[in-house]
Each structure stands twice: as C-alpha cells, then as structure tokens.
Chains A and B, each alone.
Chain A
C-alpha cells in the first residue's frame, strides 16, 4: 500500500522555466511533509518542508504548496537551473512519530 505517491517518474524542463513536482498521499494522519533531493551515488539531501497548519512555504527558489483537502502537495522550482537535475522524493510524517514515508521519486532533468 503506497501511502505517498509520485505519479510522474520523470520530468524535463527548460533552464530558466518553472519546474513543478507533484506528490499525493492517502493517509489523512500525515501532518508534516518534506522534499528531498538526491544526486546519483549520494544520500538524499533535505530541501524544504511544510507543516499541515500551513498551505505554503517558501525558501529561495523553492516553494512547497499543500492542499490538505486534496491530499496533494507540490514543489515549485523557479527559475530552474542545471544543478537542479536530480531525483526528488517527497516524504510524509505525523505528529509524535518521526518515521518518514517516502514516495517513489521523480527524476528532474533541466535542459540547458
């Protein structure tokens, strides 16, 4: 039972444009969401997070949006840069339990 889903295995975006990565979840108990970025042969690196009491969190070029009613979150990267090419995982957790449930990942390729 995949509780966190990333339905797009890959995405290609032109440099300078906006990249939008999507994530859906099924467990309504989740109340904290994170995005991780992973380069080949490296471990995932924390990127940005959002609590369920918010619907938006912004950090530089990265913004995460949360739609609780739709159980959907998205990561926006503006403008996209070649160094953003990586696999992006969304992850979810719930209060009192630090265990993260990860999605299957989306491979983002930025085209110069």
Chain B
C-alpha cells in the first residue's frame, strides 16, 4: 500500500522560499506514475501546483510556474517542492499526491499547513 507523507517548515517568511518534501513508502517513486503537489488555502478549494515523473520531467501550473520547482530524489524515494518569493496568498495546506493510471489523484498525503508570515 503506497503512502505519502509531506514534511517541511510550517512557517515561512514573506519573500522567502517554501520547501516541502513528500516521502513515498510502500512503493517506488520510479513506478509509471506522475507525482503531484496540490494546495488548499484555508477554507478554499484545491489548486494543482505541478507534477514530476521519476525521469525528472515536470509540468507546472502556469499561474505559479515562475516561482515553482519540483524535483525528485530516487535514492530517497521522495520528491520535493520549492516555491519562491512567497506571500500571504501562498498560505495553504500543501498536499502531495500520486497521479493514478486513471489520470486522477488516487493517493494523497495527509497534507501539511504552511503559513507565510513574518
């Protein structure tokens, strides 16, 4: 049973860089799946941030593309998110998720709350 677990600082200063990691357990990140980051501001809906394949290929949401970097570390079976120049608008619960063979997100991490504040 594949499980995902997000980790990283819960508080980031404005203009700083948000950095999160998603550890994959119970399966290999090198499987034939893409791996995504999705966020949810408090009390609001879901926004897809971007995805990565184990080869390192990425796709990003154009609305965030200039600030986002998603990378993969196959040796650690994990993938990571970096979001630069953050503002209060980036305060959200950040989820990592697996893109299933059905082109949907079938496995999600529990999510980690990141607050942007000085």
Partners in one complex: no
